[in-house]
Structure 1
Amino acid sequence: MKDMPEFSGVTYVKQPSRSAAGDNAPVEELVAQILAAVRKDGDAAVRAYSRQFDKADLEMFEVSDAERHAALEALDPQSRADTEFAIANVRAFAQAQLSTIQPLEVEPLPGVHMGHRVIPVQRVGCYVPGGRYPLLSAPVMTIVPAKVAGVDEVVACLPPNAHPAMIAGCHLSGADRIFRIGGAQAIAAMAFGTETVPAVDKIVGPGNAFVNEAKRQVFGPIGIDQLAGPSEIFILADETGDAAMIATDLLAQAEHDVRTRVGLITTHEPLARAVLAEMDRQLADLSTAETAGAAWRDYGEIALCADEAAMIAYSDHIAAEHLQVHTADAREFATRLRNYGSLFIGELASVVYSDKCSGTNHTLPTMAAGRYTGGLWVGTYVKIATHQWLTEEGVRHVAPPAARQSANEGLEGHRRAAQLRLDRLSER
């Protein structure tokens, strides 16, 4: 591929033929039209777009209590048990994370008190993608941390044609309200509010290109978690890597979507060649080969690195959404990595476990966003809001430099506000 970066000490056993970054459909104009229509016409516009895009003509968007319980009853016992297992693990990890976010009160100068509070977002909208399969883990990952964080109301939107099990998943995860609305119109409804859908303060959750673009366009007065592209997995391996296991894990992620980006970064050429052959061998009898094979053909890569330093530098440049470490001392090696969405240390730690039920969140940064942010977590649903209060002694410390700085900047109103309190103290 022409726009592949050149790195010292890195050659390619297989290069991707296409760029996921450059293959986004030109959806900006259509999404803008959808947002404007929903903002203007509310439920009527949502209903029209649901008919147009989802072939669904629903009298009521909101899922009733009776429908919730019917979906729950229809869920087979093992699927329910597995979903509840995932919920328990995600909840436990989110609770542990929340315990590390503490309110603060300090007095850096005598009489100058400042700090912060940890305040849950009041109302959050969770977009739950429908996809080709009922992905029961999807609502767990967005709704459960919100409830742990203390969000007052969690609104879930999922496509009208989503599998009924997804309604059960939203219910079990703790959604306060569930709506059968998909696509950009769902983002618009949650951002602006309609006659039936309440406006939210923040929207989270992955979706297709239209959902992503809608989130981008409403961002500002409405918060979002991130802009997610197609899924990604890279595996770092040395000569100890197991070719069959590496290929299995790459294909497990590749079956998500034909645009999934999958890759191996290794220092060992025999392993690189073995994985290349193993991918073809496993695709021959993989039931999802039509999707996984297309992803591997178009976006798959195997990078051969001269040494560990080159391997780490290239990995940090890629900043993969999911990054697995299959090296002789994986835990030590992992401490030298900087950019990734979520890290899976050692060959026993598969992305699939996190995708489904182990407890870490599977909503993660893609398209190199791991260089500057992590994934969805309980902290996504709280605000760290600062405050201060001063005694008279505190005013005497900060008013003079504040007044002088304001005067130097030519901001007379600022100078007066800083000086007024000091003058009042002097008059007493």
Structure 2
Amino acid sequence: MPRHLKSPVPAAQVSAARADVAERVHAILEDIRRRGDDAVREYSEQFDKWSPGSFRLNADEVRRIVSQVPGTVLDDIRFVQQQVRTFAQAQRDSMADVEIETLPGVRLGHRHVPVAAAGAYVPGGRYPLTASAHMTIVTAKVAGVPRVAACTPPIRGEIPAATVAAMHLAGADEIYLLGGVQAVAALAVGTETIGRVPMLAGPGNAYVAEAKRQLFGEVGIDLFAGPTEILVIADENADPFVVAVDLLSQAEHGPDSPAVLVTTSEQLGREVERHIERLLPGMPTKDFAEPAWRDHGEIVVADTLDEAFRIADSYASEHVEVLTENPRQALEKMREYGALFLGEGTCVSYGDKVIGTNHVLPTRGAARYTGGLWVGKYLKTVTYQEVTDTASSALLGEVCGRAARVELFEGHARSGDVRAAKYGKGQLPWNEEGAA
């Protein structure tokens, strides 16, 4: 039986805050629908103290901003984007168009068609998440999306130059210095100066995530997102210091970011907790990491490694780091996760920043039904049908007539009847006035 060395706060405390966010977001979305650019500008002034002549950067502005970024930063951006591009291209190459002949002259197929445009939200605020530009824009461009409109907020009234550089180098067609609900709303519904997009992608704070949730259906979204999550599976062979550092690496995302350890060693669990208590006071990001660990941190002790895998699956965590003697066992034992990080040589931070897999991943249990953002999210798999053999069309028409009448769809049946009669040289079971 699993037992907790450390438990999180009750879930009820979390859900009350979500209701307030949903109500506020709904009001902003409706206001932007009604008033367009005027509302967008007012919210940008209110939340970001930002009201330029145009939210969109022109080509000269982009070149000037990029020129201010240190060369090593640009080199690192290019390196990471190449990792993302390489993996996304491999994903795209795995998706073949299909055409088969099921009966003589009956051809069925599917094609992968990129969406016409995508909106990429690159978070800013306290931490400029340049890596989100790689994940959303590079991946969309590999998929073949012809127009990518990217938004990022100013940071304390300043232009986030490294983020703009990342958006530009990733291939964004439009770059807007605009953040929050007002950014995703403008992209989704369109304004006088911002063209609407059929799909939104990218992480954000609780308000951005809620805006995407409310807009879903009107536009497509990558996935429903919540606070960043990490779950570490560790046996007695794991280094407790490494485990503690890795748990805190994700807790710093925000005060509501869950960090969970599932271990087969109670001793390791207690050592990890002691390391965390020593590390937290000196962390520059402890104002986020400390409440995240206090309120949402967990240490669970399992009797066996198989039980640890089952417990981990029950969380369906965004990131699962496996620090065990044989970490690749998790590939066979687990199925409910956003991404796996196998062995001490890798870590969740690699996935977030440099390794090339996409860091936009499912949270709050969504890993039970979806994976993360990937090149396929920007593609519509659409089918087509063609019948060129008259005998096959006659056969299908006969079966269609019978099948449709079982469901009382007479109009459908008559579409089949017409072809059965025309190509099969038979008679219609009804006349041209529609009477049987």
TM-score range, shorter chain: over 0.9
Correspondence 1:250 to 2:247: yes
Aligned to 1:149: 143
Conservation of the 8 A alpha-carbon contact between 1:254 and 1:295:
yes
Task: Indicate whether 1:298 and 2:295 are aligned.
Answer: yes
Is the Cα contact below 8 Å between 2:396 and 2:420 reproduced in 1? no
Q: Which of the residues 90, 108, 113 maps onto 1:114? A: 108
Q: 1:273 aligns with which of 270, 273, 281?
A: 270
Question: In 1, Cα distance between the equivalents of 2:121 and 2:14?
Answer: 22
In the alignment, what sits opposite 2:77?
Answer: 83
Residue 269 (structure 1) shift: 1.0
- Alpha-carbon shift at residue 18 of structure 1 (Å): 4.3
The residue number in structure 1 matching 2:356 is: 359
Task: State whether residues 122 and 129 of structure 2, in contact with CA within 8 Å, keep that contact through their aligned partners in structure 1.
Answer: no
Deviations for 1:157-181, whole angstroms, at most 9, x for unmatched residues? Answer: 1113352221111111110001122
Cα distance in 2 for residues equivalent to 1:165 and 1:359? 19
Take 1:298 and 1:148, find their aligned partners in 2: how far apart are those partners?
40
Cα distance between partner residues in 1 of 2:281 and 2:316: 30
The code of the aligned residue for 2:414 comes to: R
Aligned equivalent of 1:323: 320
Q: What secondary structure, in the 3-state scheme, does the structure 1 residue paired with 2:18 have?
A: coil
Cα distance, 1:374 vs structure 2: 0.4
With normalisation by structure 2, the TM-score equals 0.93
Q: Is the aligned partner of 1:238 residue 2:235?
A: yes
In the alignment, structure 1 residue 334 sits paired with structure 2 residue 331: yes
Instruction: Please identify runs of 4+ aligned residues in structure 1 that moved more than 4 A.
Output: none
Find 2:55's aligned residue among 61, 65, 75.
Answer: 61
Q: How far off its partner does 1:29 sit? A: 2.6
Out of 195-204 and 306-315, give the one that drifted further: 306-315
Cα separation, 2, equivalents of 1:121 and 1:18: 41
Residue aligning to 1:187: 184
Kept in 2, the 8 Å contact 1:256–1:292? The answer is yes
1:414 to 412, 415, 419: 412
Specify the SS of the correspondent of 1:101.
coil
The question of 1:347 aligning with 2:339 is answered no
Q: What is the CA–CA distance in structure 1 between the aligned matches of 2:350 and 2:243, rounded to whole Å?
A: 15
Query: Which of residues 363, 370, 375 is equivalent to 2:372?
Result: 375
Asked whether the 8 Å contact 2:391–2:423 carries over to 1, the reply is no
**Does residue 1:131 correspond to 2:128, yes or no?**
no
Q: What is aligned with 1:43?
A: 37
Following superposition of structure 1 onto structure 2, how do residues 196-211 of structure 1 map, counting pairs within 5 Å?
196-211=193-208
Q: Tell which has more relative contact order, 1 or 2 (C-alpha 8 A, sep 6+).
A: 1
CA distance in 1, matches of 2:127, 2:21: 24
Residue in 1 that maps onto 2:8: 16
| Partners of 1:324 and 1:41 in 2: CA distance | 46
Partner of 1:28: 22
CA contact under 8 A between 1:11 and 1:304: conserved in structure 2? yes
Segment drifting more, 394-403 vs 311-320? 394-403
| Structure 1 SS opposite 2:231 | strand
What code does the residue aligned with 2:177 have? R
AA aligned opposite 2:421 = D
User: Contact 1:325 / 1:334 at 8 angstroms: preserved in 2?
Assistant: no
SS in 2 for 1:335: helix
Distance apart, 1:25 and its partner CA: 5.1
Deviations 1:72-112 (A, max 9, x none): 11111111111111011000010011000010001123332
1:4 equivalent in structure 2: none
- The answer to whether structure 1 residue 178 and structure 2 residue 175 are counterparts is yes
Q: Deviations over 1:228-256 (max 9, x none)?
A: 10000001111111100000101111111
Q: Distance in 2 between matches of 1:100 and 1:300?
A: 38
Matched letter for residue 394 of structure 2: R
User: Alignment partner of 1:246: what SS?
Assistant: helix
User: Which consecutive unaligned segments of at least 5 residues does structure 1 have?
Assistant: 1-8
Secondary structure of 1:284 counterpart: helix
Instruction: Rate the CA distance shift 1:316–1:397 in 2: closer, same or farther, 3 A.
Output: farther
Give the 3-state SS of the residue equivalent to 1:83 in structure 2: helix
Alpha-carbon distance change, 408 to 25 in structure 1, aligned in 2, over 3 angstroms = closer
Q: 1:49 is aligned with what amino acid?
A: Y
Deviates more, 1:21-30 or 1:35-44: 21-30
| Deviation sequence 1:167-213 (CA, Å, 0-9, x none) | 11111111000112211111111111111111101001111122112
CA RMSD in angstroms comes to 1.5
Matched, 1:158 2:152: yes
What is the CA deviation profile of residues 251-302 of structure 1, one whole-angstrom value per residue up to 9, with x for unaligned ones?
A: 1111111111101101111111111111112223222222211111110000
Query: CA–CA distance in 1 between the matches of 2:128 and 2:203?
Result: 15
Residue number among 371, 390, 399 corresponding to 1:392 in the alignment: 390
Q: Distance in 2 between matches of 1:387 and 1:417?
A: 18
Quote how far apart the aligned CAs of 1:427 are. Answer: 3.1
Q: Aligned equivalents of 1:282 and 1:58: distance in 2?
A: 42
1:333 aligns to what SS in structure 2?
helix
CA positional deviation for 1:314: 1.1
Work out the CA distance in 2 between the residues paired with 1:319 and 1:351: 15
Identity rate of aligned residues, in percent? 44
Instruction: Report the TM-score when normalising by structure 1.
Output: 0.95
Give the distance between the partners of 1:57 and 1:422, measured in 2 at CA: 66
CA distance in 2, matches of 1:228, 1:149: 22
* Structure 2 residue corresponding to 1:167, chosen from 161, 164, 167: 164
Name 1:3's counterpart in structure 2.
Answer: none
Amino acid at match of 1:245: V
